[in-house]
Amino acid sequence: MSVPIVRTLADLRSVVAGWRKDKARIAVVPTMGALHEGHLSLVRAALARADRVIVTLFVNPKQFNSAADLAAYPRTEEEDADKLAPLGAHLLYVPDGSEIYPPGFATTVSVTGVSEGLCGAKRPGHFDGVATVVAKLFLQTGADIAFFGEKDLQQLHVVRRMASDLDLPIEIVGCPTVREADGLALSSRNVRLSAGERAIAPKLVAILDEAARSLSAGAPAASLLQAANRSILAAGFREVEYVELRSAADLAPLELADRPARLLAAAWLGQTRLIDNVVVQPAAE
Ligand code: PAF
């Protein structure tokens, strides 16, 4: 069976209105396509918690920092639809650009605090673009529950903050990062890695895991993070944007893992920017 595709807000609303009449609980999984097992795990989680699951596919120009990156973003709608069909997703919403940003569109949803630092520091406007499109997708679909991957941990926090601050009647669920057998976090950008880069890429999470073990044992972050930074460069990455220890609850910077925490990193491998994060559990008292 194939997954039905709608491209206009009017068609989306008429499908959703039918489901609402049946009192269905509706989930949304927002994506930019190029679906991989990470996305599919979100769809499975959504199917387990809702009666109807809408996957959205929109390559959102407002969250890209360069026209070249936007142009190079993989677009694989047919393959994406083929991957969704066997799972039993109920609808694929692929809005035309004008359904999201009609002429004259002038509104930005901007979340302060949690969107600053980490990826926000190097990608000005990125989280405004994410918050704006996600707010629209929530309102357009009218979903009760939404699913996001923890690989983009800062994005998950930005979306949670936005939904809470704007009283959007939707539950936000974060799902664990899906990894290749060698540890590399799945990402639509991984297809851009050369064979040599692909061999280096899993070293990022290996270095984070090792640092996380020392942090869990009570080591102070400052020198460990510097050492992790040097190890990432030594492994063959071109540039490290950040390696930081943050509180798991609100992403506040930490100097010690004295509460549940995450170690997050972004680094460039050739022309590809990879991000990842790992759990840091404080040592039991
Ligand atoms: O994570 C993504 O793919 C995007 O940032 C999202 C949430 C679909 C918004 O465009």
Distance between CA atoms of residues 216 and 284, nearest Å: 9
Mean pLDDT for the chain? Answer: 97
- For residues 24 and 162, membership in a common domain is answered with yes
Cα(31) to centroid(ligand 1), Å: 5
pLDDT band at 179 (very low <50, low <70, confident <90, very high): very high
In the chain, % of residues over pLDDT 70? 100
Instruction: Please give all residues whose beta carbon lies within 6 A of any atom in ligand 1, as ranges.
Output: 30-32, 60, 63, 130, 133-134, 152, 155
Q: Give the pLDDT confidence score for residue 284 in this predicted structure.
A: 72
Global pTM exceeds 0.85 = yes
- What CATH number corresponds to the domain at position 256? 3.30.1300.10
- What CATH number corresponds to the domain at position 131? 3.40.50.620
Residue nearest to atom 5 of ligand 1 (CA): 130
Q: Give the pLDDT confidence score for residue 283 in this predicted structure.
A: 81
Please state the rounded mean pLDDT for residues 248-272. 97
Q: Give the pLDDT confidence score for residue 251 in this predicted structure.
A: 98
Please state the rounded mean pLDDT for residues 73-78. 94
- For residues 159 and 202, membership in a common domain is answered with no
Active site residue 39: yes
Residue 31 has pLDDT above 70, yes or no: yes
- For residues 204 and 126, membership in a common domain is answered with no
65 located within any domain: yes
217 located within any domain: yes
180 located within any domain: no
Per-residue model confidence as pLDDT tens digits over 250-259 = 999 999 999 9
- For residues 197 and 69, membership in a common domain is answered with no
**Which ligand 1 atom is at minimum distance from the Cα of 152?**
1
Please state the rounded mean pLDDT for residues 277-283. 94
Cα(282) to centroid(ligand 1), Å: 31
Distance between CA atoms of residues 174 and 24, nearest Å: 22
201 is in an annotated binding site: no
Cα(95) to centroid(ligand 1), Å: 14
- For residues 85 and 156, membership in a common domain is answered with yes
Exactly one of 39, 90, 126, 157 is catalytic; which is it? 39
**Which ligand 1 atom is at minimum distance from the Cα of 188?**
3
181 located within any domain: no
Q: Give the pLDDT confidence score for residue 102 in this predicted structure.
A: 98
Q: Residue 97 is part of which domain span? A: 5-175
Report whether 278 contacts 242 (CB < 8 A): no
247 located within any domain: yes
**Which ligand 1 atom is at minimum distance from the Cα of 56?**
8
Q: Give the pLDDT confidence score for residue 1 in this predicted structure.
A: 76
How many structural domains comprise the chain?
Answer: 2
Please state the rounded mean pLDDT for residues 52-72. 96
**Which ligand 1 atom is at minimum distance from the Cα of 159?**
7
Per-residue model confidence as pLDDT tens digits over 129-176 = 999 999 999 999 999 999 999 999 999 999 999 999 999 999 999 999
Task: Pick from 155, 187, 273 the residue to mutate for probing ligand 1's pocket: most ligand atoms within 8 Å of its CB.
Answer: 155
Task: Pick from 40, 63, 123 the residue to mutate for probing ligand 1's pocket: most ligand atoms within 8 Å of its CB.
Answer: 63
Cα(245) to centroid(ligand 1), Å: 24
pLDDT band at 285 (very low <50, low <70, confident <90, very high): low
Per-residue model confidence as pLDDT tens digits over 210-236 = 999 999 999 999 999 999 999 999 999
